Structure 1
Protein backbone atom coordinates (compact mmCIF):
# COMPACT_ATOMS: atom_id res chain seq x y z
CA UNK A 1 0.00 0.00 0.00
CA UNK A 2 1.40 3.33 -1.03
CA UNK A 3 -1.38 5.90 -0.66
CA UNK A 4 -4.39 6.74 1.47
CA UNK A 5 -6.46 6.00 -1.62
CA UNK A 6 -5.14 2.41 -1.53
CA UNK A 7 -6.31 2.12 2.08
CA UNK A 8 -9.71 3.55 1.16
CA UNK A 9 -10.03 0.94 -1.60
CA UNK A 10 -9.12 -1.83 0.83
CA UNK A 11 -11.73 -0.64 3.32
CA UNK A 12 -14.27 -0.30 0.51
CA UNK A 13 -13.82 -4.02 -0.28
CA UNK A 14 -15.19 -4.70 3.20
CA UNK A 15 -18.03 -2.18 2.89
CA UNK A 16 -16.40 0.56 4.96
CA UNK A 17 -16.71 4.10 3.59
CA UNK A 18 -15.18 6.74 5.83
CA UNK A 19 -15.79 10.46 5.57
CA UNK A 20 -16.60 12.63 8.56
CA UNK A 21 -15.27 15.89 7.15
CA UNK A 22 -12.19 16.19 9.35
CA UNK A 23 -9.05 14.78 7.72
CA UNK A 24 -7.40 13.72 10.98
CA UNK A 25 -10.60 12.09 12.26
CA UNK A 26 -10.98 10.27 8.93
CA UNK A 27 -7.44 8.91 9.17
CA UNK A 28 -7.87 7.85 12.79
CA UNK A 29 -11.13 6.08 11.97
CA UNK A 30 -9.42 4.31 9.07
CA UNK A 31 -6.72 3.15 11.49
CA UNK A 32 -9.38 1.74 13.82
CA UNK A 33 -11.07 -0.07 10.93
CA UNK A 34 -7.77 -1.54 9.72
CA UNK A 35 -7.04 -2.81 13.24
CA UNK A 36 -10.49 -4.44 13.37
CA UNK A 37 -9.97 -6.14 10.00
CA UNK A 38 -6.60 -7.45 11.14
CA UNK A 39 -7.85 -8.71 14.50
CA UNK A 40 -10.66 -10.48 12.63
CA UNK A 41 -7.98 -12.05 10.39
CA UNK A 42 -9.50 -10.55 7.25
CA UNK A 43 -6.28 -8.89 6.06
CA UNK A 44 -2.69 -10.11 5.99
CA UNK A 45 0.02 -8.90 8.34
CA UNK A 46 1.87 -7.09 5.53
CA UNK A 47 -1.27 -5.18 4.51
CA UNK A 48 -1.94 -4.28 8.14
CA UNK A 49 1.60 -3.05 8.79
CA UNK A 50 1.88 -0.94 5.65
CA UNK A 51 -1.58 0.58 6.16
CA UNK A 52 -0.90 1.47 9.82
CA UNK A 53 2.50 3.00 8.99
CA UNK A 54 1.01 5.08 6.18
CA UNK A 55 -1.94 6.25 8.27
CA UNK A 56 0.25 7.24 11.21
CA UNK A 57 2.58 9.12 8.87
CA UNK A 58 -0.35 11.00 7.32
CA UNK A 59 -1.83 11.79 10.75
CA UNK A 60 1.53 13.21 11.86
CA UNK A 61 1.78 15.34 8.71
CA UNK A 62 -1.77 16.66 9.15
CA UNK A 63 -1.13 17.56 12.79
CA UNK A 64 2.08 19.38 11.83
CA UNK A 65 0.21 21.29 9.11
CA UNK A 66 -2.54 22.21 11.56
CA UNK A 67 0.02 23.32 14.17
CA UNK A 68 1.91 25.50 11.67
CA UNK A 69 -1.33 27.28 10.68
CA UNK A 70 -1.93 28.37 14.28
Structure 2
Protein backbone atom coordinates (compact mmCIF):
# COMPACT_ATOMS: atom_id res chain seq x y z
CA UNK A 1 0.00 0.00 0.00
CA UNK A 2 1.58 3.25 -1.15
CA UNK A 3 -1.10 5.88 -1.70
CA UNK A 4 -4.70 6.91 -1.06
CA UNK A 5 -5.86 4.97 -4.10
CA UNK A 6 -4.58 1.76 -2.48
CA UNK A 7 -6.53 2.59 0.70
CA UNK A 8 -9.64 3.15 -1.44
CA UNK A 9 -9.13 -0.28 -3.00
CA UNK A 10 -9.11 -1.91 0.43
CA UNK A 11 -12.32 -0.12 1.35
CA UNK A 12 -13.81 -1.11 -2.01
CA UNK A 13 -13.22 -4.80 -1.20
CA UNK A 14 -15.62 -4.36 1.71
CA UNK A 15 -18.21 -2.42 -0.28
CA UNK A 16 -17.27 1.06 0.91
CA UNK A 17 -17.07 3.81 -1.71
CA UNK A 18 -16.26 7.29 -0.43
CA UNK A 19 -16.58 10.37 -2.58
CA UNK A 20 -18.26 13.52 -1.37
CA UNK A 21 -16.33 16.09 -3.39
CA UNK A 22 -14.58 17.33 -0.25
CA UNK A 23 -11.10 15.76 -0.19
CA UNK A 24 -10.46 16.43 3.52
CA UNK A 25 -13.88 15.08 4.41
CA UNK A 26 -13.27 12.00 2.28
CA UNK A 27 -9.99 11.34 4.08
CA UNK A 28 -11.68 11.65 7.47
CA UNK A 29 -14.40 9.21 6.41
CA UNK A 30 -11.74 6.80 5.16
CA UNK A 31 -10.00 6.93 8.55
CA UNK A 32 -13.27 6.09 10.29
CA UNK A 33 -13.96 3.19 7.94
CA UNK A 34 -10.44 1.80 8.27
CA UNK A 35 -10.74 1.99 12.07
CA UNK A 36 -14.04 0.10 11.93
CA UNK A 37 -12.58 -2.61 9.68
CA UNK A 38 -9.66 -3.00 12.06
CA UNK A 39 -11.88 -3.17 15.16
CA UNK A 40 -13.97 -5.88 13.49
CA UNK A 41 -10.73 -7.69 12.56
CA UNK A 42 -11.38 -7.59 8.81
CA UNK A 43 -7.93 -6.12 8.17
CA UNK A 44 -4.57 -6.92 9.75
CA UNK A 45 -2.63 -4.61 12.04
CA UNK A 46 -0.03 -3.89 9.32
CA UNK A 47 -2.69 -2.83 6.78
CA UNK A 48 -4.37 -0.65 9.40
CA UNK A 49 -1.14 1.13 10.33
CA UNK A 50 -0.11 1.67 6.70
CA UNK A 51 -3.55 3.03 5.81
CA UNK A 52 -3.57 5.43 8.75
CA UNK A 53 -0.09 6.68 7.87
CA UNK A 54 -1.01 7.25 4.22
CA UNK A 55 -4.21 9.09 5.13
CA UNK A 56 -2.42 11.23 7.73
CA UNK A 57 0.31 12.19 5.23
CA UNK A 58 -2.26 13.10 2.57
CA UNK A 59 -4.26 15.19 5.01
CA UNK A 60 -1.10 17.01 6.13
CA UNK A 61 -0.12 17.61 2.49
CA UNK A 62 -3.49 19.20 1.76
CA UNK A 63 -3.32 21.55 4.75
CA UNK A 64 0.01 23.07 3.62
Normalised TM-score (structure 2): 0.97
1:24 corresponding residue in structure 2 = 24
1:68 corresponding residue in structure 2 = none
Which runs of no fewer than 5 residues in structure 1 stay unpaired?
65-70
User: Quick check: 1:53 aligned with 2:53?
Assistant: yes
Cα RMSD between the aligned structures?
A: 0.5
Aligned residues: 64
2:40 corresponding residue in structure 1 = 40
Structure 1: how far apart are the matches of 2:35 and 2:63?
A: 21
Which runs of no fewer than 5 residues in structure 2 stay unpaired?
none
Stretches of 4+ aligned residues off by more than 4 angstroms: none
Normalised TM-score (structure 1): 0.89
Structure 2: how far apart are the matches of 1:42 and 1:9?
A: 14
Rg (Cα) greater in structure: 1
